[in-house]
Structure 1
Amino acid sequence: MDFDDTAALIVIDVQQGFDDPAWGERDNPAAEANIGRLVSAWADAGRPIVLVRHDSVSPGSPLGVGSPGNALKDVVADAPHDLFVTKQVNSAFYGEPDLHAWLRDRGVRQLVITGIQTNMCVETTARMGGNLGYEVTLPLDATHTFDLEGPGGLRLTASELARATAVNLEGGGFARVVTTDEVLGA
């Protein structure tokens, strides 16, 4: 694994609202600490950092614009960054300002994607990044998600969903799935 000086760290939706108990059981209690380690390493190396915030328009959402839950968590709230993207859907590539144009204008070809939720906004952004031709790396232990119920009462734990995301992304050729330590050691 080798990252050039333009490799961008994309930090997705690390927001206070994800601490709301309404989300249910989560996995990976070390996610925020690992995100903090990556942000520090990227800042120290002078590589680009992009912070992304989900500005929900759903009534009552813990991530609603103007609500306390919309704010970034302390681990990234004061983080140095080169771009701040807001979005209302799962992919950071459909936010404002235009992430793809910003990356392209700077010659960025490598992305390290981290944040919340593993199987939602993180996975969607990683898939789109892969489709757009970026070399995407996802340190799975710098993400977390929540248990989720699907059709017919089928329920998957957060850990099962994270494993499925890893298989979807790497097995599908969208991203390389690694650990935070592997990224930091590169």
Structure 2
Amino acid sequence: MNNEPVALIVIDMQRGMKEPDAEKRNNLDAERNIQSLLAAWRRAGWPVVSVRHISRAKDSPFWPGQPGAEFQPELAPLDTEHVVEKSVPDAFIQSGLERWLHVRGISSVVLVGVSTNNSVESTARTAGNLGFSTIVVSDATFTFAKTDYAGVWRSADEVHAMSLANIDREYASIMSTRDVLGLL
């Protein structure tokens, strides 16, 4: 990475993401990897953006005021760090994130968080389309198993791998935590 600050964008690492069955997700070390990246960004004094999903559905764990909508304590933003709230998967939609980055002269972003095939992929696509140099950290993101459109059950690893393949080299570069830390 060059001398220009790179924003670390931590997507939807909220308490409600701990509720789903851990057996149905991948990358069980993702939170630890995100913590490593957060520590490195904070040491460097680079910008950190925490994205919080606020649901429009009252029965969601992400409804405002619910415990699930709160950040996981070990990944919570510092008072000096920017927080973006969104009600759709894409962190750029109606959030002011693009403007916040441009005002600070930031043209490169690193994305981590959940879920790979939803909010991470959606945000990566928009970041790439808006011209940001974008990295998605493969082992600092995770997703959940699900049934595909043809009715075939896909493991979380399969869903994760396909999501990364969808954005690789077209919208973002895919890297590991170790490789990103090596660039610092």
| TM-score category (smaller protein) | over 0.9
Q: Which residue of 1 aligns with 2:116?
A: 118
Gaps of 5+ in 2: none
Q: Which residue of 1 aligns with 2:7?
A: 8
Larger helix share, 1 or 2 = 1
Q: Which residue of 2 aligns with 1:38?
A: 37
SS at match of 1:185: helix
Match of 2:171 among 166, 174, 181: 174
Q: Which residue of 2 aligns with 1:129?
A: 127
Aligned residues: 183
SS at match of 1:50: strand
Residues 69-90 of structure 1: per-residue CA shift (max 9 Å, x gap):
1110122125465311000000
Q: Which residue of 2 aligns with 1:71?
A: 70
Q: Which residue of 2 aligns with 1:85?
A: 84
Normalising by structure 1, what TM-score?
Answer: 0.92
Query: Could you tell me which amino acid in structure 2 is paired with residue 67 of structure 1?
Result: Q
Consecutive aligned runs of 4 or more in structure 1 exceeding 4 Å deviation: none
Normalising by structure 2, what TM-score?
Answer: 0.93
Deviation of 1:169 (Å)? 1.1
Distance in 2 (CA, whole Å) between partners of 1:76 and 1:52 is: 11
SS at match of 1:140: strand
Query: Could you tell me which amino acid in structure 1 is paired with residue 86 of structure 2?
Result: K
Distance in 2 (CA, whole Å) between partners of 1:86 and 1:156 is: 30
Distance in 1 (CA, whole Å) between partners of 2:10 and 2:126 is: 15
